[in-house]
Structure 1
Amino acid sequence: MITTFLSTAQSFSYMLSTSTSLFHQFPTFPPKSQTLPSRTRLLQFYTPRMASISGFRVWSQIGQGDCSSSSSPGDNGFCSFMEYVGKRGLNVEDDLVILLYHIQYACKQIASLVASPFNYSLGKRSGLGSAAGSGSDRDSPKPLDIVSNEIILSSLQNSGKVAVMASEENDDPIWISDDGPYVVVTDPLDGSRNIDASIPTGTIFGIYKRLEELDNLPIEEKAMLNSLQSGTKLVAAGYVLYSSATILCTTFGSGTLAFTLDHSTGDFVLTKPSIKIPPRGQIYSVNDARYFDWPEGLRRYIDTVRQGKGKYPKKYSARYICSLVADLHRTLMYGGVAMNPRDHLRLVYEANPLSFIVEQAGGRGSDGKNRILSLQPVKLHQRLPLFLGSLEDMEELESYGNVQQKVNPGYEV
């Protein structure tokens, strides 16, 4: 263990001393198996194990538990993420199972990186400029963002199942393989500017099918067009929350569910087989410091619900973490609305995947006027206001009209 920490510290120190080639100096994390031709072989990685937690011996029945949607964890043992997608019969194709294996593997590496005592320096600003073209140093990538991006890219390349990856950290999509059946869009480490304060962060991803009708186009053109698909074409989406627990929340278009990382075994274990966001909550999540810059409709809505004078006759409370994944996860659990009324969040790799997850849990994703998934992206890093939450809360919010903040006086764009 000490040797591992020293090795990690030395690697981080070396990266920081050679920041101009940071992408290439960070060691990649190839999965245990680089070629996984079938579900049977994939699931061979998950054999029963015995773990000891606080003196109690816990039998993790990986490969033996019932992963049906009607069962709950503990009925017949635990169900791992890979067992669920490999055996559940969710119409998850073999290629997608393999891709998901590599994505969850990458997220485990990022979880370890975020929790490492050596990530303090990696959380500093790199001065490399913003790949997303934000025009703001506040949004400029940091080494931790970049390393996370490289971990995901490496895993997608190793999977052999991805044609193109579009990321917040890259100006343009990266073409990976001519015959990869899938397209992955991702925000590798959302909320990373708060990493020094140990505030929760997250990884967001969405998965599309490759548009085969574009195969004859030049690489740059087909990479971009594949990345600009409408959210209605998502085949899977998810986020991983790095907090007191590491939680993988995902959907394949038939409900939303969550898995929690068991550090004793290294498996994501099914903990919420069917997430249903309450039809109405009692929490709103937004940066109240910008209240006086909000449009009239949004101010009226917030004033009304926090006084208990809305359609739900209870006073709402404000809860704001300033980490999109964390604020959304709490909203999924308790209901209410998580929002950023400014043209700030990205449609392709933040709004679309998260709206897909919320809708599959019974909620709604909106830009304040329109359903997010109905919007057609026109630019890779296109920004828009984002409102996510309980169906009844969202309908009430939209009924006020004029909730999108189009000006930002006194603040960086």
Structure 2
Amino acid sequence: MYSEPGKTKFQIDLRRHLREQDICENLIHVICEIAEACKYVINAVRTGDLGVAGTSNLYGEEQLALDVLSDRILKKRLIHTGVVCNIASEEMDEIYQAQAAADGLYSVAYDPLDGSSLVDVNLAVGTIVSIYKGSDLLQPGRNQVAAMYVLYGPRVSLVYSVGKGVYEFTLNQLMEFTLTRENVTMKPAGDIYSPGGLRNKYTPENEKFIRFLEDKGCKLRYSGGFVPDINQVLMKGKGIFMYPALQGSPKGKLRLLFELNPMAYLIEQAGGAASNGVIDILDIQPESLDHRAPVYIGCRDDVEKAKDFLNNKVK
């Protein structure tokens, strides 16, 4: 715990906390600029146009005006950091080169507004960010130097890790992110489950796993938003989120670069686990920007149990 006279953990701002993590100034700059950009995103969420922008993203999904605006806000901020070379967004069809690769620069992949279709019904949404050293974004998530998400809910919270634990910051009335939770940790097992996808398209193995969770008394908690669902599992320190392979969609729905890698990094840093049912999410070599994978993420024992069912080790 911080012991400086007159300073409680609720008064520790993000930049100061990052400097105490003993990381390079350029990485601090990138994370702080993303945090600043997200202040503009939440303003857009609260006050902006909820209508459709008239375009669709790379993956054929209806793109809302807020998606476009959030993407532009983050991209512009990252370009102007001067320390980011490559940028990949879920809303762009290719990697954007902000500047030539050089020593000390970073590359960033992000989902600017995950769950944006939930905004017009006033449910929580969020921004997800993955940061790598150098210019290569198509590498296993284990190589991330930082990951973070910002949840736009009743409170705006920022959760990050640079490989030294997981920390939560909350946006206060002065529009400053201040520390609210230190060293967030996961329990070995939990009693919450968040199952994505249509259950009538589950494979028999996934259906058996769901029945196992129900039989042991797990409570269903699913909002339809990846950020709020992962935040619930992480901050409660228990539970499992899953978006499995479905009949007709063997690779699931969620994307490795923009969603799975950063969340898996955070969950592992908190002592949890994330797997596609065979190997750890962070050990998957991405084949493209659109690489998707099934995911089981949360308490370590629950993820292991899912793998047992998927590999027919449980009858």
TM-score by length of 1: 0.70
What is the aligned partner in structure 1 of residue 122 from structure 2? 198
- 1:351 maps onto 2:243 in alignment: no
What is the aligned partner in structure 2 of residue 152 from structure 1? 74
* Pairwise CA RMSD: 1.9
Where 1:184 maps in the other structure, the secondary structure is strand
Query: CA 1:349 to 1:306, structure 2 compared with 1: closer, same or farther past 3 Å?
Result: same
Matching residue's letter, 1:113 = A
Query: Which aligned pairs between 1:174-253 and structure 2 lie closer than 5 A?
Result: 174-178=96-100, 179=102, 181-211=105-135, 226-253=136-163
What is the aligned partner in structure 2 of residue 305 from structure 1? 213
Larger radius of gyration: 1
User: 1:247 & 1:182 partners in 2: Cα distance?
Assistant: 24
Query: CA 1:399 to 1:196, structure 2 compared with 1: closer, same or farther past 3 Å?
Result: same
What is the aligned partner in structure 1 of residue 83 from structure 2? 161
What is the aligned partner in structure 1 of residue 249 from structure 2? none
Query: Which aligned pairs between 1:132-151 and structure 2 lie closer than 5 A?
Result: 134-135=59-60, 139-151=61-73
User: 2:7 & 2:310 partners in 1: Cα distance?
Assistant: 46
What is the Cα deviation at residue 293 of structure 1? Answer: 1.6
Q: What is the CA deviation profile of residues 246-292 of structure 1, one whole-angstrom value per residue up to 9, with x for unaligned ones?
A: 00000001111110110x2111010001100121110100147x222
User: 2:267 & 2:130 partners in 1: Cα distance?
Assistant: 13
Contact 1:123/1:193 (8 A) holds in 2? no
User: 2:87 & 2:115 partners in 1: Cα distance?
Assistant: 20
Residue in structure 2 matching 1:101, options 32, 48, 55? 32
Q: What is the CA deviation profile of residues 198-248 of structure 1, one whole-angstrom value per residue up to 9, with x for unaligned ones?
A: 11000000110114xxxxxxxxxxxxxx12121111000000000010000
User: 1:240 & 1:115 partners in 2: Cα distance?
Assistant: 15
- 1:112 maps onto 2:14 in alignment: no
Q: What is the CA deviation profile of residues 352-396 of structure 1, one whole-angstrom value per residue up to 9, with x for unaligned ones?
A: 111000000000111122100000001111111122100111111
Comparing 145-154 and 333-342, the one that deviates more: 333-342
User: 2:183 & 2:99 partners in 1: Cα distance?
Assistant: 34
What is the aligned partner in structure 1 of residue 296 from structure 2? 387
Instruction: Return 5+ residue gaps in structure 1 as ranges.
Output: 1-65, 212-225, 309-314, 404-413
Query: Which aligned pairs between 1:325-364 and structure 2 lie closer than 5 A?
Result: 325-334=227-236, 335-342=238-245, 343-364=252-273
What is the aligned partner in structure 1 of residue 223 from structure 2? 321
Contact 2:87/2:108 (8 A) holds in 1? yes
User: 1:291 & 1:230 partners in 2: Cα distance?
Assistant: 30
What is the Cα deviation at residue 85 of structure 1? Answer: 0.8
Contact 2:196/2:244 (8 A) holds in 1? no
What is the Cα deviation at residue 177 of structure 1? Answer: 1.2
Contact 1:298/1:402 (8 A) holds in 2? no
Instruction: Return 5+ residue gaps in structure 2 as ranges.
Output: 246-251
Q: What is the CA deviation profile of residues 312-367 of structure 1, one whole-angstrom value per residue up to 9, with x for unaligned ones?
A: xxx11101100000000001122111111142000011111110000000001111
Matching residue's letter, 1:321 = S
Contact 2:10/2:179 (8 A) holds in 1? no
- 1:82 maps onto 2:9 in alignment: no
Matching residue's letter, 1:189 = L
Where 2:147 maps in the other structure, the secondary structure is strand
What is the Cα deviation at residue 126 of structure 1? Answer: 2.4
Matching residue's letter, 1:327 = D
User: 2:108 & 2:2 partners in 1: Cα distance?
Assistant: 26
Contact 2:233/2:241 (8 A) holds in 1? yes
What is the aligned partner in structure 1 of residue 171 from structure 2? 261
User: 2:42 & 2:282 partners in 1: Cα distance?
Assistant: 29
